[in-house]
Amino acid sequence: MTETHPDPAPAYPVGLRLAGRRVVVLGGGQVAQRRLPALLAAGADVTLVSPSATPSVEAMADAGELTWERRPYREGDLADAWYALVCTRDPEANAAASAEAERHRVWCVRSDDAESATAWTPATGRSEGVTVAVLTGRDPRRSAAVRDAIVEGLRDGTLVAPRHRARTPGVALVGGGPGDPDLITVRGRRLLAEADVVIADRLGPRDLLDELPPHVEVIDAAKIPYGRAMAQEAINNALIEHAKAGKQVVRLKGGDPFVFGRGMEEAEALAEAGIACTVVPGVTSAISVPGAAGVPVTHRGVAHEFTVVSGHVAPDDERSLVDWTALAGLTGTLVLLMAVENSGAIAAKLMAGGRPGDTPVAVIQEGTMAAQRRVDATLATVGETVRAEGVRPPAVIVIGDVAARGRNQR
């Protein structure tokens, strides 16, 4: 993208294919450090000529990514180059190298004097196979700002640029994070913006659904009619049907799809039906909800481990797969999901297994959302506190010394 400028002749934009071609970089300072990764990513055969280099540039040389000649520039360095970046701290060397580049017809970027350079580096960025390169003449900050706006927009889907090729129908299992719409990943947000059909859970960033264009079909997973089939089977079938109809389907889940999210059941059902499935990890409530309430799941000198446990069945229920007695013997943090109803029974089981009754407990309801609230208790009091305070799901219960932290946070 080039902006019309008072200059009589604006730069001509082009994409150089530098793989295997000799590129000479003069100077190993900050400018080289910023430009080298893109040259190396393009596969250029880079020779760096410089008596010194920043530690990052030196690391690239040590890793064999480029050839470093530890000396100042000398005439002849640019002879066989296809492209040159001149960025030493010595203006005379820069001028001499530029003159050599001109004689040999090597396109040359010069960091200290854009006016006499024969090439300019655009502000570049990449998103999902698209390279964005922006030149604004003499305003590199504006170039960077325009680049950022385009790349960010492409990444999060706010800049809609439909694909006309390589748009394959399929399903993306997207972890939406704990509820705050800002906590979905950039990839998740983009896929949501590209979807034809979204099947959403009750938990997760539901606000984002309002932003979808009217043609997108939004289906509430809790309301899929399932007759005699199991609810999960009905959801799997809905995913398969829509994907088979050629739609791009997003299965939007709360937190991370693979943390008590039944994501694997859906992925397996899709694989069995021969449907392409992408899994986009999400920010799990198990870590983010405590964090949002000021509770770190680990803390130096306090907890060296944390264990995430589902409390959806009571400890004495025969369906329980959890060894509560073993958990009672741990000294680190226990993070309970889906445990509001069974909190008293779980606390009793942990105390019976030896975990002290005065162990701090923090209960965080509707974490990261406007209605977030935190209720503090101990292992001995948590069952009663949850009842007395009217705590309702969704809530995360954190047990351990870390739960004494952040009490004065909102």
Ligand X SMILES: C[S@@+](CC[C@H](N)C(=O)[O-])C[C@H]1O[C@@H](n2cnc3c(N)ncnc32)[C@H](O)[C@@H]1O
Q: Which residues are catalytic?
A: 201, 223
Q: Which residues of 168-200 are buried (b: 16+ CB within 10 A; e: fewer)?
A: eeebbbbbbbbbbbebbbebbbbbbbbbbbbbb
C-beta of 197: minimal distance to ligand X in Å? 21
Would you count residue 391 as binding ligand X (CB under 6 A)? Answer: no
Which positions from 353 through 382 interact with ligand X, judged by CB under 6 A?
Answer: 364, 366-369
Nearest CA among 110, 112, 109 for reference residue 83: 109
Would you count residue 178 as binding ligand X (CB under 6 A)? Answer: yes
Binds ligand X (CB under 6 A): choice among 256, 306, 324, 400? 256
Q: Decide whether 54 or 320 has the Cβ nearer to ligand X.
A: 320
Among the residue ranges 17-25, 82-90, 151-159, 392-400, the one whose residues contact ligand X (CB under 6 A): 392-400
Q: Decide whether 71 or 392 has the Cβ nearer to ligand X.
A: 392
C-beta of 288: minimal distance to ligand X in Å? 8
Please state at what angle helix 263-272 crosses helix 231-244, rounded to 10 degrees. 50
Residue 130 main-chain phi, psi, to 5 deg: -105, 130
Residue 209 main-chain phi, psi, to 5 deg: -65, -30
Q: Is the peptide bond before 10 cis (omega within 30 degrees of 0)?
A: no
C-beta of 367: minimal distance to ligand X in Å? 4
Q: What is the C-alpha to C-alpha distance for residues 131 and 129, in angstroms, rounded to an integer?
A: 7
Q: What is the C-alpha to C-alpha distance for residues 20 and 93, in angstroms, rounded to an integer?
A: 26
Which positions from 32 through 61 interact with ligand X, judged by CB under 6 A?
Answer: none
Would you count residue 342 as binding ligand X (CB under 6 A)? Answer: no
C-beta of 408: minimal distance to ligand X in Å? 20
Which positions from 282 through 311 interact with ligand X, judged by CB under 6 A?
Answer: 284-286, 289
Binds ligand X (CB under 6 A): choice among 337, 347, 363, 402? 337
- The answer to whether the beta carbons of residues 372 and 292 sit under 8 Å apart is yes
Would you count residue 254 as binding ligand X (CB under 6 A)? Answer: yes
- The answer to whether the beta carbons of residues 297 and 303 sit under 8 Å apart is yes
Q: Decide whether 140 or 281 has the Cβ nearer to ligand X.
A: 281
Q: Decide whether 109 or 198 has the Cβ nearer to ligand X.
A: 198
Nearest CA among 102, 134, 129, 133 for reference residue 116: 102
Residue 379 CB-density burial (10 A; 0-12 exposed, 13-18 middle, 19+ buried)? buried
Q: Decide whether 119 or 396 has the Cβ nearer to ligand X.
A: 396
Residue 64 CB-density burial (10 A; 0-12 exposed, 13-18 middle, 19+ buried)? exposed
Would you count residue 169 as binding ligand X (CB under 6 A)? Answer: no
Among the residue ranges 16-24, 41-49, 131-139, 256-264, the one whose residues contact ligand X (CB under 6 A): 256-264
Would you count residue 396 as binding ligand X (CB under 6 A)? Answer: yes
Which positions from 184 through 213 interact with ligand X, judged by CB under 6 A?
Answer: 203
Q: Decide whether 23 or 309 has the Cβ nearer to ligand X.
A: 309
Give CA angle at 406 (337, 388), nearest 5°: 55
Q: Which residues of 91-116 are buried (b: 16+ CB within 10 A; e: fewer)?
A: eebbebbbebbeeeebbbbbbbeeee
Q: Decide whether 81 or 362 has the Cβ nearer to ligand X.
A: 362
Among the residue ranges 124-132, 151-159, 278-286, 379-387, the one whose residues contact ligand X (CB under 6 A): 278-286
Binds ligand X (CB under 6 A): choice among 40, 209, 338, 380? 338
C-beta of 50: minimal distance to ligand X in Å? 49
C-beta of 368: minimal distance to ligand X in Å? 5
Q: Are strands 248-253 and 197-200 parallel, antiparallel or unpaired?
A: parallel
Residue 360 main-chain phi, psi, to 5 deg: -65, 145
CA atoms within 13 A on the CB side of 227: 3
Which positions from 64 through 123 interact with ligand X, judged by CB under 6 A?
Answer: none
Would you count residue 183 as binding ligand X (CB under 6 A)? Answer: no
Give CA angle at 218 (242, 194), nearest 5°: 75
Question: Which positions lie near ligand X, rule CB under 6 A?
Answer: 178-179, 203, 253-256, 259-261, 284-286, 289, 337-338, 364, 366-369, 393-396
